Copies of this chain bind each other. A is one copy, B any other.
């Protein structure tokens, strides 16, 4: 191989590596920003907090993510995608539609009394803080609610076809009910509800679907 070609290849490989490292660092920093906004809320998080937590200079922060609001919206979208894909995975991997919903509830109940549970849901927190005054947050929240309710509607429609579901309501209505239950639980757990209380709420909800 000619030396110049070898050199070019080496440069290409190095370039890809640098790009990969940069992408990795960006995602890592975005996750750190998500955790910070989740814990502190939008208004209470300062640019100084972000600089300190993300280990970035002010100019790198603005260069990589734009201003505080742009970074917040990207962090909230990342959270939304993670919850939606995590819920889809849980539902898909479960032996039956109702087992899937039970598993989603069980994961919530497990958070009661823990530090993660006390953080609440980043989406619920952001809705409480910023909707309806921020139209971009409202849009992300609506997309999130629609996507999760669609997932629940799909499994509840399967449950209906297997004759495992009450016929008093449509799968769409029951999906809204399940989603409402989850949003409530995130607030209750944040307010300090015990595992037993949340467990009982989960049991009543599951029972009323059948």
Which residues of A pack against B, CB within 8 Å? 41, 43-44, 118, 120, 124-125, 127-129, 131-132, 138, 141-142, 145, 168-169, 173-174, 176-177, 179-185, 187-188, 190-193, 197, 200-201, 203-205, 207-208
Nearest chain B CB to A63's CB is how many angstroms away? 27
B129-A41 in contact (CB<8A): yes
Known: A138-B191, A142-B192. 19 other contacts (CB 8 A): A41-B41, A120-B131, A124-B187, A125-B129, A127-B187, A128-B129, A128-B190, A131-B190, A132-B190, A132-B192, A145-B193, A168-B204, A176-B200, A180-B184, A180-B185, A182-B184, A183-B187, A184-B184, A207-B208
Q: Which residues of B contact A180 (CB under 8 A)?
A: 181, 184-185, 188, 201
Taken together as a complex, chains A and B put the C-alpha atoms of A201 and B180 apart, in Å, by 8
Taken together as a complex, chains A and B put the C-alpha atoms of A21 and B30 apart, in Å, by 53
Taken together as a complex, chains A and B put the C-alpha atoms of A182 and B201 apart, in Å, by 13
Q: Which residues of B contact A169 (CB under 8 A)?
A: 200, 203-204
A191-B120 in contact (CB<8A): no
Most chain B beta carbons < 10 A, residue from A187, A200, A201: A187
Q: Which residues of B contact A145 (CB under 8 A)?
A: 188, 191-193
Taken together as a complex, chains A and B put the C-alpha atoms of A181 and B193 apart, in Å, by 14
Nearest chain B CB to A166's CB is how many angstroms away? 9
Q: Which residue of B lies closest to A188 (CB)?
A: B180
Q: Which residues of B contact A208 (CB under 8 A)?
A: 204-205, 207-208
Nearest chain B CB to A71's CB is how many angstroms away? 17
Q: Which residue of B lies closest to A41 (CB)?
A: B129
Nearest chain B CB to A87's CB is how many angstroms away? 16
Q: Which of B118, B132, B177, B197 contacts A201 (CB 8 A)?
A: B177
